[in-house]
Amino acid sequence: MRSAQVYRWQIPMDAGVVLRDRRLKTRDGLYVCLREGEREGWGEISPLPGFSQETWEEAQSVLLAWVNNWLAGDCELPQMPSVAFGVSCALAELADTLPQAANYRAAPLCNGDPDDLILKLADMPGEKVAKVKVGLYEAVRDGMVVNLLLEAIPDLHLRLDANRAWTPLKGQQFAKYVNPDYRHRIAFLEEPCKTRDDSRAFVRETGIAIAWDESLREPDFAFVAEEGVRAVVIKPTLTGSLEKVREQVQAAHALGLTAVISSSIESSLGLTQLARIA
């Protein structure tokens, strides 16, 4: 006997959360709970404003239609990425195939006053890896802040994310203020420039490694080994089903790339499930 419930949720956001020049006041999404006999599986569907192609209202419509089909015995996954991911997680929990062990080691996102950050990062136990958003302010300022952090904490490694904010000139301005001796401690910089070709040129000119993120969701993207490309950043909510996520992870590993499972600002349920597949 199958049954299902869909819940809508809304969480108020910190005033400092800005996505592509839009302040995110609330995070909206859906939960789906699937039951079959004594078994139960949960999934989260929460399209990310400014990044997902679909709105949560569109996702809700597709989810409700899928639930009705599932109750009637049809298990074909929807194509809409956020719904496909949430539904596939619920089905995996239902089938007990979603790993129970979770990897909660995440690079903390750092923002705020650089002097305060230095104190916090210096006290970080174990391997010091942190993430810093760049591209929100002037490229010169970003370069100076990154250089300051790397200079002050010799065992710190940074993951930087520019979200394609820079022109080639701004990328050069950033790199100019990062000491070449410190650049190897930038683990990677996600999508520095507006185009992939410009990002490749950034690698050649600066020696700073990059990672693909938005590129993974473009139709002409292919997994190939490239000079200076060190990682791929996979956002399951924007990618699709668990199977598609795992295929991308395997393709990255086959090339010797780091595959980073990344959040799209999910709720605690979604974050926990991301940790279980990381």
Q: Choosing from 128, 133, 194, 244, which is the catalytic residue?
A: 133
**Is 176 in contact with 219 (CB distance < 8 Å)?**
no
Lay out the sheet containing 39-45: strands in order across.
2-12, 26-36, 39-45
Task: Give the whole-angstrom CA distance, residue 163 versus residue 133.
Answer: 8
- Does 131 qualify as catalytic in the annotation? no
Label residue 252 exposed, middle or buried (CB < 10 Å: 0-12, 13-18, 19+). buried
Q: What is the DSSP letter of 37?
A: T
Cα 233 to Cα 210: distance, rounded to the nearest angstrom: 10
State CA 78 to chain mean position distance: 21
Cα distance between residue 5 and residue 7, in whole Å:
7
**26 φ, ψ (degrees, to nearest 5):** -140, 155
Task: Answer yes or no: 235 catalytic.
Answer: yes
What does R_g of the chain's alpha carbons equal in angstroms?
20
If one counts every other C-beta atom within 10 angstroms of the C-beta of residue 109, the result is: 12
Cα separation, 142 vs 126, whole angstroms: 26
Residues with Cβ within 8 Å of residue 187, at least 6 apart in sequence: 129, 157, 158, 159, 209, 230, 231
Neighbours of 180 (CB within 10 A): 10
Task: Report residue 103 as tokens.
Answer: 């990897």
d(CA 16, CA 263): 17
- Active-site positions read 133, 235
